[in-house]
Amino acid sequence: MKIELTVDGAAVSDDVEPRMLLVQYLREKLGKTGTVIGCDTSNCGACTVHLDGTSVKSCNVLAVQAGGRTVTTIEGLADTVEGDLHPVQESFRECHGLQCGFCTPGMIMQAVDLLKENPNPSEEEVRLGMEGNLCRCTGYHNIVKSVLHAAGGGAA
């Protein structure tokens, strides 16, 4: 099937099998390997991207379903704001909110969405809002800190 969509600000067009998942399309067809696959049950959230501005797990969307829509990945996040990094990216670095970095793209994309909906979350709201993203390195301590730090810095 032919699809046309916008990914990280660029119009793209491809022929894809209907069974191809959005995450596979991003990685294999577009080379957007910043978005990664961590599980096969939609638990881990590592593949989180924005579809028309809200966070989704890109393993749980077919590429054909993204036709005509706008996708933002971790690779396109910084282009939408002034400077090199999105404030949430900056916060994750500042607060050591990552170690191996595999869950990080999904964490950051979800955190951006969370702060868009709730610009001043409490620690508990951050913890609940990030429950769809698994991390094995940080114990979440500094991830939560990063999101709160970004909120304090007016990231949303």
Partner 1 sequence: MTATQERPAAEIGKDRRRKEDQRLITGRTRWTDNITLPGMLHLAMVRSPFAHAAITSIDVEAAKAATNVVAVLTGRDFGDELGACINAWPITPDQKTPPHSPMPADRVAFAGEIVAVVVARSAAEARDAAELVDVEYDEQPAVLGIKNALEDSVLAHPDLGTNKSALWVFDSSEAGTGGDVEAAIQQARTDGIVIEREYRQQRLIPAFMEPRSVVVDPTGEQLTMWSATQIPHILRFALAATTGVPESKIRVIAPDVGGGFGGKLQTTPEEWIAWAVARRLSKPVKYTETRSESLVSAHHGRDQVQTLSLAADKDGKVTGLKVHLDADLGAYVSLVGGGIPVLGAFMFNAIYKFPSYRFECQTVLTNSTWTDAYRGAGRPEATYAVERLMDELAAEVGVDPLVIRERNWITHEEFPFTTVAGLEYDSGNYEAATARAKEVFGYDALRAEQGERRARGDRVQLGIGVSTFTEMCGLAPSRVLGSLDYGAGGWEHASVRLLATGKVEVVTGTSAHGQGHETAFSQIVADRLGVPFEDVEVLHGDTQVAHRGLDTYGSRSLVVGGEALVQAVDKVIDKARHLASHLLEASQDDLDYGGGRFTVRGTDQGIAIQELATATFTGHNYPEDMELSIDAEATYDPVNFNYPHGTHLCAMEVDTETGAVTMRKYTCCDDIGNIINPLIVAGQVHGGLVQGIAQALWEEAVHDDAGTLVTGSFVDYLLPTSADTISFDVLHTEEPSVCTTNTLGTKGVGEAGTIASTPAVVNAVVDAVRHLGVDDIQMPCTPERVWRAIHAHDGDAPTPESAMPHFEEDAPNQDPTAGQGAGQ
Partner 2 sequence: MIPVKFDYLAPTSVEEALAALGEHGDEAKIMAGGQSLLPVLRMRLNAPEVVIDLGGIDSLRGIRDDGDAIVIGAMTTHHDVREHALVREHALLISKAVAEVADSQIRHRGTFGGALAHADPAGDLGAPALALGAQFVIAGPGGSRTVEADDFFVDLFETAIGEDEILTEVRIPKHTGWGAHYEKFVRVAHQWPIVAVAATVRGSIDEARVGLTNMGSTPLRARATEAALAGASATEDGVREASQLAAEGTNPPTDLNGASDYRKHLARVLTGRAVLKAAGA
Residues that bind partner 2 (CB under 8 A): 1, 17-19, 21, 24, 37, 40-43, 45, 48, 51, 54-57, 59-62, 64-65, 110, 113-114, 128-129, 131-134
Q: Reduced to 3 DSSP states, what percent helix, strand and coil does the chain have, rounded to the nearest 5?
A: 40, 15, 45
How many CB atoms are located within 10 Å of the residue 63 CB?
A: 25
How many CB atoms are located within 10 Å of the residue 51 CB?
A: 18
Least Cβ distance, residue 83 to partner 2 (angstroms): 27
Least Cβ distance, residue 5 to partner 1 (angstroms): 18
Instruction: Select from partner 1, partner 2, none the partner in contact with residue 10, using the beta carbon and a kind-dependent cut-off of 5 to 8 Å.
Output: none
- 131 in contact with partner 1 (CB under 8 A): yes
Cβ contact 48:23 at 8 Å = no
**Max alpha carbon distance in the chain (Å)?**
45
Beta-strand (E) ranges in 54-133?
54-57, 70-72
Burial environment of residue 106 by CB neighbours within 10 A (0 to 12, 13 to 18, 19 or more): buried
Least Cβ distance, residue 117 to partner 2 (angstroms): 8
Determine which residue in the list 56, 71, 98, 115 makes contact with partner 1, applying CB under 8 A. 98
- 89 in contact with partner 1 (CB under 8 A): yes
Least Cβ distance, residue 102 to partner 1 (angstroms): 3
Instruction: Select from partner 1, partner 2, none the partner in contact with residue 13, using the beta carbon and a kind-dependent cut-off of 5 to 8 Å.
Output: none
